[in-house]
Amino acid sequence: MRGTTVGQRSLVSAVATDLGRTMALDEAVERLTRLLVPAVADWCLVTLVDDDESRAPRRRLRDVGWWHADPARRDQVAAYARERIGALVPGSMLMRAIDSGEVVHVHDAAVEALDRVLLPGPARDLVGLLAPSSLTVAPLRSRGRTLGAVSLFNGPGRPPLSPQEVASVVEVIATAAIALDNARLYRRQRDVAATFQRSLLTAPVEPDHMQVVVRYQPAAEAARVGGDWYDAFLQHDGGTMLVIGDVVGHDVEAAALMSQLRSMLRAFAVVTRNSPADVLALLDAAVRTLQIPALATVVVARVEQTPEERAAGRTRLRWSSAGHPPPMVVGPDGTVRVLDEQRPDLLLGIDPARERVDHETVLAYRETVLLYTDGLVERRNRPLRAGLADLRAALARHGARDLDDLCDALLAELPGGPGEDDVALVAVRLHPQDRPRPAEAGPVSVPPDVPAPGPRSRSEGADDAPGG
């Protein structure tokens, strides 16, 4: 790079191109260190300011990237990076560059200069081993904010950077700062969105002898949020509502639309105590009236049992589907039932005037109901029909397993791997009501104002009669 604008332009271009190809901050930092070494320095460190520490007295710094041209010295640089920040005293070159926004250049005697700003200990000892003769600290600034700094070190076998080279380094670092800031902002957006989605995907209820397990696996290449959701809650009469839904889209907008649909569906179901089909009809009408630009597939199911049915040992699952993949029921012997309808109802958001229909089936003790989104069964190289067949086969293999293990096995075997689509699951298993709730089901968890009937005695029902 010395004395050539061609080399400067080439490095600026390489930094802009290579760092611009990733939105992962750690990877972008790693790429930057490889571009700077050995092009402009023998070794380097990249320091970032924590996002939430914007004022100088409160700043927290982290050395997040490093590299050395000599492979034999890289472990020493890594050790120095672990020790340096904690050993710095006020007035260090690093803090001067970050506080002022200006380049700090030490033309010679770099070891002595570093000894003056490092406390006695491992960091100072490592400087002696690495033996830099000159150093340059350039702040990383973007959008009026200092993100951190790049520290460039040269040994005795390499001249210190000339004024022209320092100016070139400033341009290179400015280009890198923009790319790193973009990655930082992307990470912040992703983290905020993921926190937002986690706040919506709350823990399910655990009523009486019903065990409920939920899972959410985001698409790795998106912002780690999307329109898939699950829900499990109680109505005031004690019926358990199960919901699985998928808003079209895989981004923050889809997650925001999902939150609206989920909240409205919950309110309709709890306040009206309506059937699944009626709840979906109300939700579809609200989507039109409020002009919510959402298309979504949804299954709403209700596990219900009247006192008479409980005495007779019967539990019913009543469900309605808005164009969603069909629920499946698997017994402990691996027998699988697909709760499919001949003519599935329309997606939400298409025609709220179209009548919606409830369907019913009787559930037995130890049977498991699975609701899922299409990310579990559909991917680019596997059509939905084949995916449903794969799911049936997996349920037959794993149906007798603990419910948590069953869900984990499905997620491990069926999706195309993280990255294609979000996956949400709700799995419900009915345990016998004439004996204590099994330990693997965990404690009962229901709202205080909802009835939670206790177990029956053996005289009230057969050992393996259906129940909820």
**281-332 pLDDT tens trace:** 999 999 999 999 999 999 999 999 888 877 777 799 999 999 999 999 999 8
Q: Is residue 62 included in any domain, yes or no?
A: yes
Q: How confident is the model at residue 461 (pLDDT cuts 50, 70, 90)?
A: very low
**Over residues 331-353, mean pLDDT:** 89
Q: Is residue 465 included in any domain, yes or no?
A: no
Residues 226 and 369 in one domain: yes
The residue among 456 and 262 whose pLDDT is bigger is 262
pLDDT in tens, 171-187: 999 999 999 999 888 88
Residues 153 and 256 in one domain: no
CA–CA distances in Å: residue 18 to residues 26, 137, 146, 226:
13, 22, 21, 28
What does the pLDDT read at residue 236?
81
Q: Is residue 467 included in any domain, yes or no?
A: no
Q: Is residue 13 included in any domain, yes or no?
A: yes
Q: Is residue 38 included in any domain, yes or no?
A: yes
Residues 277 and 382 in one domain: yes
**Over residues 204-232, mean pLDDT:** 81
Which among 57-66, 424-433, 438-447, 453-462 has the top mean pLDDT?
A: 424-433
**Over residues 152-162, mean pLDDT:** 95
What does the pLDDT read at residue 451?
59
Intra-chain end-to-end CA distance of the chain, in Å: 74
**Over residues 420-444, mean pLDDT:** 85
Across 4-13, 37-46, 160-169, 231-240, least confident range: 4-13
- Single-letter residue type at 354: R
Q: How confident is the model at residue 458 (pLDDT cuts 50, 70, 90)?
A: very low
CATH number at residue 315: 3.60.40.10
What does the pLDDT read at residue 443?
83
Q: Pick from 172, 192, 212: which residue ends a domain?
A: 192
Q: How confident is the model at residue 53 (pLDDT cuts 50, 70, 90)?
A: very low
Residues 157 and 298 in one domain: no
Residues 161 and 229 in one domain: no
Residues 437 and 319 in one domain: yes
Round the average pLDDT of the chain to a whole number and report it: 86
Per the structure, how many domains does the chain have? 2
Q: Is residue 466 included in any domain, yes or no?
A: no
Give the residue numbers spanning the domain of 429. 201-460
109 has a pLDDT exceeding 60: yes
Q: Is residue 468 included in any domain, yes or no?
A: no
Q: How confident is the model at residue 220 (pLDDT cuts 50, 70, 90)?
A: low
What does the pLDDT read at residue 193?
67
**Over residues 206-232, mean pLDDT:** 80
Q: Is residue 14 included in any domain, yes or no?
A: yes
pLDDT in tens, 346-400: 999 999 999 999 999 999 889 999 999 999 998 777 788 899 999 999 999 999 9
Residues 307 and 207 in one domain: yes
Q: Pick from 168, 192, 216: which residue ends a domain?
A: 192
Residues 29 and 59 in one domain: yes
Q: Pick from 163, 192, 221: which residue ends a domain?
A: 192
464 has a pLDDT exceeding 60: no
What does the pLDDT read at residue 309?
78
Residues 438 and 376 in one domain: yes
What does the pLDDT read at residue 194?
67
Across 49-53, 245-249, 285-289, 445-449, least confident range: 49-53
CATH number at residue 147: 3.30.450.40
Residues 223 and 327 in one domain: yes
117 has a pLDDT exceeding 90: yes
What does the pLDDT read at residue 142?
93
The residue among 380 and 128 whose pLDDT is bigger is 128
Residues 306 and 445 in one domain: yes
Residues 357 and 447 in one domain: yes
How many Å apart are CA 34 and CA 408, to the nearest integer?
A: 39
Percent pLDDT > 70 in the chain is: 88
255 has a pLDDT exceeding 90: no
What does the pLDDT read at residue 273?
83
460 has a pLDDT exceeding 70: no
